[in-house]
């Protein structure tokens, strides 16, 4: 693979010598693809443990849906959803746990409960206190591109050059994070598949993963079950595994460091084959 780095977390080091798999844990009743399936603490924990057994290298726990059209969730409810899950998981799994939130108070509670990574879909724009917090804690942070807020992000998204526009945005947000003490080696960038992008935008991003790798940060891509796959295949969100595998294979072949997915076992097999063929690992 391209020159790889090592991500240092409170749970240990994670090397990017192969494509890493982030398993999605939606503790929400209204996620676009699996809302309500794992909304209870026990169900979410057992599902997460199963994902690790299936090959997940990282778990990403989120309590607020950021699907197109979603409305903001009260912080107290988000805390009640994610903190018990993270507390229980920390005693049962030995992989890094990511908290999917843009709210500093939720990130702080999640780290105290045992989380290791902050996954901010607003790239530190959603809460002005978040950048100071992650800078002081020195924890890895995912900076994702999105046309915010979710309620309007899919209303006629437009770009001059989608790849260059997003790359420029992510460079700016990375510099902003570093200005507040976030170490460069703790930054992961995510072009934000499906977050304010039409199908042609998502396809352009997937064709040019190397452009994002050229920025010098680990790259996370999350194509799992996204709407563009449905547009291409005619499949509902619950039946997009084959399309997701196709998108993930492209990401792995291009050198993406992390793929964020629902169907860990099938994706694990796909990326092992791609890594062996393309990168001989």
Q: Which residue numbers are catalytic? A: 226, 260
- Rounded to an integer, what distance in angstroms lies between the CA atom of residue 21 and that of residue 280? 18
3-state secondary structure labels for all residues of 135-179: HHHCCCEEEECCCCCCCCCCCCCCCCCHHHHHHHHHHHHHHHHHH
With beta carbons less than 8 A apart as the criterion, state whether 7 and 16 touch. yes
- Rounded to an integer, what distance in angstroms lies between the CA atom of residue 110 and that of residue 61? 9
- Rounded to an integer, what distance in angstroms lies between the CA atom of residue 246 and that of residue 105? 37
**Ramachandran quadrant class, 124 (left: phi over 0; alpha: psi -120 to 50; beta: rest):** left
* CA distances, 44 to each of 38, 50, 52, 62, 87 (Å): 5, 10, 12, 10, 12
- Rounded to an integer, what distance in angstroms lies between the CA atom of residue 68 and that of residue 51? 26
Q: Looking at the chain, how many residues does it have?
A: 281
With beta carbons less than 8 A apart as the criterion, state whether 176 and 169 touch. no
Is 8 strand, coil or helix? strand
């Amino acid at each position: 693979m391209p020159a790889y780095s090592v991500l240092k977390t409170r749970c240990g080091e994670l090397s990017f010598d192969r494509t890493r798999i982030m398993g999605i844990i939606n503790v929400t009743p209204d996620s676009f693809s699996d809302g309500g399936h794992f909304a209870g603490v026990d169900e979410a924990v057992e599902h997460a443990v199963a994902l690790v057994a299936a090959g997940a290298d990282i778990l990403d726990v989120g309590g607020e849906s950021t699907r197109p059209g979603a409305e903001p969730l009260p912080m107290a409810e988000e805390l009640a959803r994610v903190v018990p899950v993270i507390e229980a998981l920390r005693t049962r799994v030995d992989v890094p746990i990511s908290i999917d939130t843009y709210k500093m108070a939720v990130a702080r509670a999640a780290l105290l409960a045992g989380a290791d990574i902050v996954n901010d879909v607003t790239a530190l724009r959603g809460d002005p206190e978040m950048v100071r917090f992650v800078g002081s804690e020195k924890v890895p942070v995912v900076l994702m591109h999105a046309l915010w807020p979710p309620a309007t992000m899919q209303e006629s998204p437009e770009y001059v050059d989608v790849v260059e526009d997003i790359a420029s945005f992510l460079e700016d947000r990375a510099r902003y994070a570093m200005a507040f003490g976030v170490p460069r080696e703790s930054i992961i960038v995510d072009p934000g598949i499906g977050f304010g992008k039409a199908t042609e935008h998502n396809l352009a991003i997937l064709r040019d993963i190397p452009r994002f790798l050229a920025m010098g940060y680990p790259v996370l891509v999350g194509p799992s079950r996204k709407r563009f796959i449905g547009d291409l295949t005619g499949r509902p969100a619950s039946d997009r595994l084959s399309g997701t595998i196709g998108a993930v294979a492209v990401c792995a072949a291009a050198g993406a460091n992390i793929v964020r997915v629902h169907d860990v076992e099938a994706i694990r097999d796909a990326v092992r084959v791609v890594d062996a063929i393309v990168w001989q690992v």
